[in-house]
Amino acid sequence: MAVEVQEPRGKSVKVNDEGLTAEDVEEVKRIRKHRTDIAHEMHNVLLNPQTQVDESKLMGIYRLLSKIDRWWITEVYWDGKGIRPSDAKSGRMIFLEHFIAAVYQKGRIQ
């Protein structure tokens, strides 16, 4: 099923099955709940070593953001003109890669 959305510059774009799946939407809901829990318990996250941000949810954010941004870059911004999704990378993706690598002492994030 295609849904029509407006991008910031006023261009109308149809979002189809290449976008988020029902499973992705459920993951967004779980991540949002975790974010809300952290926001309301920030003092515990900062002061209590037993209270931590769930790394799997942070990686889920990166995965979903990458999926959305790669689709946007290739299909909307470049209008499907010869850029492979694997080559597309947004500033938000780069920021999250560096953030995750610094916080969790990970190498390159894919």
Ordered by start, the domain boundaries in the chain are 21-104
- C-alpha span between 104 and 98 (Å, rounded): 10
3-class SS at 3?
Answer: strand
pTM, rounded to two decimals: 0.68
pLDDT over threshold 60, residue 20: yes
Give the pLDDT of residue 14. Answer: 55
Q: Measuring CA to CA, how many Å separate 55 from each of 50, 68, 88?
A: 14, 20, 24
Share of the chain above pLDDT 70, in %: 77
